Structure 1
Amino acid sequence: MSKPFPDGAAAEDQTGRFVVQPNGRPRPLSPHMQIWRWHVTMAASILFRVTIGAASVGAILITAWLGAIAFGPDAHAAATDFLSSPLGLLIGFGLTVVLFSFFLNGTRHTINDTGNGLTPKTSNVLSWISVIGPVVLAVAFWAALMGASA
Protein backbone atom coordinates (compact mmCIF):
# COMPACT_ATOMS: atom_id res chain seq x y z
CA MET A 1 0.00 0.00 0.00
CA SER A 2 1.37 3.37 -0.90
CA LYS A 3 1.53 6.18 1.59
CA PRO A 4 -1.14 8.84 1.11
CA PHE A 5 1.45 11.63 1.36
CA PRO A 6 5.08 11.82 0.29
CA ASP A 7 7.71 11.52 3.01
CA GLY A 8 8.12 14.77 4.86
CA ALA A 9 4.76 16.16 3.77
CA ALA A 10 3.76 16.88 7.36
CA ALA A 11 7.10 18.48 8.18
CA GLU A 12 6.97 20.75 5.12
CA ASP A 13 3.29 21.62 5.49
CA GLN A 14 2.75 25.28 6.43
CA THR A 15 -1.06 25.07 6.38
CA GLY A 16 -1.50 22.83 9.42
CA ARG A 17 -3.44 20.26 7.38
CA PHE A 18 -1.21 17.34 8.34
CA VAL A 19 -0.10 15.81 11.60
CA VAL A 20 2.62 13.25 12.25
CA GLN A 21 1.27 10.25 14.13
CA PRO A 22 3.31 8.58 16.90
CA ASN A 23 4.40 5.92 14.41
CA GLY A 24 5.91 8.68 12.23
CA ARG A 25 3.34 8.53 9.40
CA PRO A 26 1.88 11.83 8.22
CA ARG A 27 -1.93 11.92 8.19
CA PRO A 28 -4.40 14.66 7.40
CA LEU A 29 -5.56 16.58 10.45
CA SER A 30 -9.17 16.04 9.37
CA PRO A 31 -9.59 12.39 8.36
CA HIS A 32 -11.13 11.51 5.03
CA MET A 33 -12.97 8.38 3.89
CA GLN A 34 -9.79 6.43 3.08
CA ILE A 35 -8.65 6.71 6.69
CA TRP A 36 -11.82 7.04 8.76
CA ARG A 37 -14.00 3.94 9.07
CA TRP A 38 -17.71 4.12 8.31
CA HIS A 39 -19.88 4.69 11.38
CA VAL A 40 -23.59 5.08 12.11
CA THR A 41 -23.11 8.66 13.29
CA MET A 42 -21.74 9.49 9.84
CA ALA A 43 -24.77 7.84 8.22
CA ALA A 44 -27.13 9.82 10.47
CA SER A 45 -25.40 13.07 9.53
CA ILE A 46 -25.43 12.35 5.79
CA LEU A 47 -29.05 11.16 5.80
CA PHE A 48 -30.10 14.28 7.68
CA ARG A 49 -28.54 16.42 4.96
CA VAL A 50 -30.33 14.36 2.29
CA THR A 51 -33.65 14.96 4.06
CA ILE A 52 -33.07 18.70 3.81
CA GLY A 53 -32.99 18.38 0.02
CA ALA A 54 -36.07 16.16 0.07
CA ALA A 55 -37.90 18.71 2.23
CA SER A 56 -37.15 21.33 -0.43
CA VAL A 57 -38.82 19.13 -3.04
CA GLY A 58 -41.76 18.70 -0.65
CA ALA A 59 -42.05 22.46 -0.28
CA ILE A 60 -42.23 22.81 -4.05
CA LEU A 61 -44.98 20.18 -4.21
CA ILE A 62 -46.98 21.89 -1.47
CA THR A 63 -46.61 25.20 -3.28
CA ALA A 64 -47.82 23.57 -6.51
CA TRP A 65 -50.78 22.06 -4.66
CA LEU A 66 -51.70 25.46 -3.19
CA GLY A 67 -51.34 26.97 -6.64
CA ALA A 68 -53.70 24.32 -8.01
CA ILE A 69 -56.26 25.30 -5.38
CA ALA A 70 -55.94 28.93 -6.47
CA PHE A 71 -56.42 28.03 -10.15
CA GLY A 72 -59.79 26.44 -9.57
CA PRO A 73 -61.55 23.10 -9.28
CA ASP A 74 -60.11 21.54 -12.45
CA ALA A 75 -56.50 22.23 -11.44
CA HIS A 76 -57.24 21.05 -7.90
CA ALA A 77 -58.77 17.82 -9.24
CA ALA A 78 -55.67 17.20 -11.39
CA ALA A 79 -53.36 17.79 -8.40
CA THR A 80 -55.48 15.52 -6.21
CA ASP A 81 -55.43 12.81 -8.88
CA PHE A 82 -51.63 13.01 -9.04
CA LEU A 83 -51.22 12.96 -5.26
CA SER A 84 -53.52 9.93 -4.96
CA SER A 85 -51.68 8.01 -7.72
CA PRO A 86 -49.08 5.37 -6.76
CA LEU A 87 -46.27 7.84 -7.49
CA GLY A 88 -47.98 10.54 -5.45
CA LEU A 89 -48.47 8.15 -2.53
CA LEU A 90 -44.81 7.11 -2.73
CA ILE A 91 -43.77 10.76 -2.64
CA GLY A 92 -46.14 11.30 0.30
CA PHE A 93 -44.59 8.37 2.14
CA GLY A 94 -41.10 9.75 1.45
CA LEU A 95 -42.09 13.16 2.77
CA THR A 96 -43.49 11.49 5.88
CA VAL A 97 -40.10 9.83 6.41
CA VAL A 98 -38.52 13.28 6.00
CA LEU A 99 -40.87 14.77 8.59
CA PHE A 100 -40.08 12.07 11.15
CA SER A 101 -36.37 12.36 10.32
CA PHE A 102 -36.47 16.08 11.11
CA PHE A 103 -38.24 15.34 14.38
CA LEU A 104 -35.86 12.58 15.52
CA ASN A 105 -32.67 14.31 14.34
CA GLY A 106 -33.81 17.56 15.92
CA THR A 107 -34.37 15.71 19.18
CA ARG A 108 -30.93 14.09 18.88
CA HIS A 109 -29.30 17.47 18.27
CA THR A 110 -31.21 19.05 21.17
CA ILE A 111 -29.98 16.31 23.49
CA ASN A 112 -26.42 16.83 22.22
CA ASP A 113 -26.71 20.60 22.64
CA THR A 114 -27.39 20.10 26.35
CA GLY A 115 -24.10 18.24 26.65
CA ASN A 116 -25.77 14.84 26.96
CA GLY A 117 -25.58 11.86 24.63
CA LEU A 118 -22.01 12.53 23.59
CA THR A 119 -20.46 9.27 24.76
CA PRO A 120 -19.84 6.77 21.94
CA LYS A 121 -22.48 4.31 23.18
CA THR A 122 -25.22 6.92 23.62
CA SER A 123 -24.28 8.66 20.38
CA ASN A 124 -24.56 5.34 18.52
CA VAL A 125 -27.98 4.61 20.03
CA LEU A 126 -29.31 8.06 19.19
CA SER A 127 -27.89 7.80 15.67
CA TRP A 128 -29.49 4.39 15.08
CA ILE A 129 -32.81 5.79 16.29
CA SER A 130 -32.53 8.73 13.89
CA VAL A 131 -31.58 6.45 10.96
CA ILE A 132 -34.14 3.65 11.42
CA GLY A 133 -36.82 5.46 13.42
CA PRO A 134 -38.20 7.66 10.61
CA VAL A 135 -38.96 4.65 8.40
CA VAL A 136 -40.58 2.71 11.26
CA LEU A 137 -42.68 5.71 12.30
CA ALA A 138 -43.69 6.47 8.71
CA VAL A 139 -44.79 2.86 8.12
CA ALA A 140 -46.82 2.95 11.35
CA PHE A 141 -48.34 6.32 10.39
CA TRP A 142 -49.32 5.18 6.89
CA ALA A 143 -50.67 1.87 8.20
CA ALA A 144 -52.88 3.79 10.62
CA LEU A 145 -53.82 6.24 7.86
CA MET A 146 -54.79 3.48 5.43
CA GLY A 147 -56.59 1.56 8.19
CA ALA A 148 -58.63 4.64 9.09
CA SER A 149 -59.65 5.26 5.49
CA ALA A 150 -60.80 1.66 4.89
Structure 2
Amino acid sequence: MKETDIYSMGELITEEVFAAPQWQKITYRIVSLLVFALGINVLMIKNGGWLPFLAPVIFFIAVSMFLYSRQKLIISNSEIRFVGGFKRYSISWTDITKVDMVRLGKYKTPTVTIYYSGGKLNLNKSYYLEPQFTRILLLIETRINPELYTKGYWEVRNQLT
Protein backbone atom coordinates (compact mmCIF):
# COMPACT_ATOMS: atom_id res chain seq x y z
CA MET A 1 0.00 0.00 0.00
CA LYS A 2 1.40 3.35 -1.00
CA GLU A 3 1.42 6.31 1.33
CA THR A 4 -0.90 8.20 -1.04
CA ASP A 5 -3.50 5.42 -0.72
CA ILE A 6 -3.74 5.98 3.02
CA TYR A 7 -4.40 9.73 2.95
CA SER A 8 -7.19 11.59 1.27
CA MET A 9 -6.45 15.33 1.57
CA GLY A 10 -5.23 15.00 5.16
CA GLU A 11 -7.95 12.53 6.12
CA LEU A 12 -7.14 9.03 7.32
CA ILE A 13 -9.09 6.23 5.70
CA THR A 14 -8.98 4.01 8.77
CA GLU A 15 -8.23 4.37 12.45
CA GLU A 16 -4.71 3.15 13.24
CA VAL A 17 -3.69 1.47 16.50
CA PHE A 18 -0.10 1.38 17.76
CA ALA A 19 1.10 -0.79 20.64
CA ALA A 20 4.20 -2.53 21.92
CA PRO A 21 5.36 -5.64 20.03
CA GLN A 22 3.59 -8.88 20.97
CA TRP A 23 6.74 -10.50 22.40
CA GLN A 24 7.23 -7.52 24.71
CA LYS A 25 3.60 -7.64 25.90
CA ILE A 26 3.85 -11.35 26.69
CA THR A 27 7.15 -10.89 28.52
CA TYR A 28 5.82 -8.03 30.66
CA ARG A 29 2.64 -9.91 31.53
CA ILE A 30 4.55 -13.01 32.62
CA VAL A 31 7.03 -10.98 34.67
CA SER A 32 4.19 -8.96 36.25
CA LEU A 33 2.57 -12.22 37.39
CA LEU A 34 5.88 -13.36 38.87
CA VAL A 35 6.35 -10.03 40.68
CA PHE A 36 2.76 -10.27 41.98
CA ALA A 37 3.52 -13.78 43.31
CA LEU A 38 6.65 -12.35 44.97
CA GLY A 39 4.46 -9.76 46.69
CA ILE A 40 2.19 -12.49 48.03
CA ASN A 41 5.20 -14.44 49.29
CA VAL A 42 6.56 -11.35 51.03
CA LEU A 43 3.22 -10.94 52.82
CA MET A 44 3.37 -14.56 54.01
CA ILE A 45 6.76 -14.20 55.69
CA LYS A 46 6.43 -14.53 59.44
CA ASN A 47 8.71 -12.48 61.62
CA GLY A 48 9.84 -10.51 58.58
CA GLY A 49 10.09 -7.29 60.55
CA TRP A 50 9.88 -4.42 58.06
CA LEU A 51 9.78 -6.71 55.01
CA PRO A 52 5.93 -6.87 54.71
CA PHE A 53 5.94 -3.09 54.20
CA LEU A 54 7.59 -3.72 50.83
CA ALA A 55 4.51 -5.62 49.60
CA PRO A 56 2.57 -2.50 48.44
CA VAL A 57 5.59 -1.35 46.41
CA ILE A 58 5.92 -4.80 44.86
CA PHE A 59 2.20 -4.90 44.00
CA PHE A 60 2.42 -1.43 42.46
CA ILE A 61 5.32 -2.56 40.26
CA ALA A 62 3.35 -5.65 39.17
CA VAL A 63 0.26 -3.60 38.27
CA SER A 64 2.38 -0.99 36.47
CA MET A 65 4.06 -3.66 34.34
CA PHE A 66 0.71 -5.19 33.45
CA LEU A 67 -0.80 -1.81 32.51
CA TYR A 68 2.30 -0.92 30.48
CA SER A 69 1.68 -3.98 28.32
CA ARG A 70 -1.91 -2.80 27.63
CA GLN A 71 -1.09 0.70 26.39
CA LYS A 72 -2.30 1.67 22.92
CA LEU A 73 -2.07 4.81 20.83
CA ILE A 74 -5.06 5.23 18.51
CA ILE A 75 -4.92 7.81 15.73
CA SER A 76 -8.15 8.60 13.90
CA ASN A 77 -9.62 11.46 11.86
CA SER A 78 -11.11 13.11 14.91
CA GLU A 79 -8.54 12.61 17.65
CA ILE A 80 -5.51 10.98 19.19
CA ARG A 81 -6.33 8.56 22.02
CA PHE A 82 -3.89 6.96 24.41
CA VAL A 83 -5.49 4.19 26.48
CA GLY A 84 -4.52 1.34 28.74
CA GLY A 85 -2.38 3.10 31.32
CA PHE A 86 -3.04 4.91 34.58
CA LYS A 87 -4.14 8.01 32.65
CA ARG A 88 -6.21 8.11 29.46
CA TYR A 89 -5.76 10.81 26.87
CA SER A 90 -8.27 11.88 24.26
CA ILE A 91 -6.92 14.81 22.27
CA SER A 92 -8.85 16.45 19.45
CA TRP A 93 -6.71 17.62 16.54
CA THR A 94 -8.00 21.16 17.07
CA ASP A 95 -6.88 21.17 20.74
CA ILE A 96 -3.21 20.71 19.84
CA THR A 97 -1.19 23.87 20.44
CA LYS A 98 2.42 22.73 19.82
CA VAL A 99 4.44 19.67 18.83
CA ASP A 100 8.06 19.28 19.91
CA MET A 101 10.64 16.49 19.69
CA VAL A 102 13.83 16.08 21.69
CA ARG A 103 16.40 13.36 22.19
CA LEU A 104 16.56 12.11 25.78
CA GLY A 105 18.71 9.80 27.83
CA LYS A 106 21.95 7.97 27.35
CA TYR A 107 20.98 6.64 23.91
CA LYS A 108 19.43 9.93 22.71
CA THR A 109 16.00 8.35 22.19
CA PRO A 110 13.61 10.66 20.30
CA THR A 111 10.56 11.70 22.29
CA VAL A 112 7.66 13.61 20.73
CA THR A 113 5.71 15.90 23.04
CA ILE A 114 2.24 16.91 21.89
CA TYR A 115 1.00 19.94 23.81
CA TYR A 116 -2.75 20.48 23.95
CA SER A 117 -5.14 22.68 25.88
CA GLY A 118 -5.33 20.18 28.77
CA GLY A 119 -1.66 19.27 29.14
CA LYS A 120 0.85 17.23 27.16
CA LEU A 121 1.35 13.72 25.81
CA ASN A 122 4.81 12.17 25.38
CA LEU A 123 5.44 9.49 22.76
CA ASN A 124 8.77 7.70 23.09
CA LYS A 125 10.46 5.86 20.24
CA SER A 126 11.74 3.14 22.57
CA TYR A 127 8.17 1.96 23.21
CA TYR A 128 6.98 1.91 19.58
CA LEU A 129 10.20 0.89 17.82
CA GLU A 130 11.40 2.33 14.51
CA PRO A 131 8.71 1.43 11.91
CA GLN A 132 5.75 2.26 14.16
CA PHE A 133 7.31 5.48 15.43
CA THR A 134 7.99 6.67 11.88
CA ARG A 135 4.40 5.83 10.93
CA ILE A 136 3.07 7.79 13.94
CA LEU A 137 5.14 10.81 12.90
CA LEU A 138 3.80 10.61 9.35
CA LEU A 139 0.21 10.45 10.57
CA ILE A 140 0.47 13.39 12.96
CA GLU A 141 2.32 15.44 10.34
CA THR A 142 -0.61 14.81 8.00
CA ARG A 143 -3.23 15.96 10.50
CA ILE A 144 -1.53 18.82 12.41
CA ASN A 145 -0.95 22.30 11.03
CA PRO A 146 2.77 22.67 10.11
CA GLU A 147 2.96 25.99 11.98
CA LEU A 148 2.50 24.14 15.30
CA TYR A 149 5.80 22.25 15.01
CA THR A 150 8.86 23.67 16.75
CA LYS A 151 12.26 24.12 15.16
CA GLY A 152 13.57 21.35 17.45
CA TYR A 153 10.97 18.94 16.08
CA TRP A 154 12.18 19.40 12.50
CA GLU A 155 15.85 19.16 13.52
CA VAL A 156 15.33 15.79 15.24
CA ARG A 157 12.93 14.63 12.51
CA ASN A 158 15.55 15.29 9.83
CA GLN A 159 18.08 13.25 11.83
CA LEU A 160 15.68 10.29 11.90
CA THR A 161 15.22 10.09 8.14
The TM-score, its normalising length taken from structure 1, stands at: 0.32
Q: Which has the higher strand share?
A: 2
The TM-score, its normalising length taken from structure 2, stands at: 0.30
Which has the higher Rg, Structure 1 or Structure 2?
1
Q: Which has the higher helix share?
A: 1
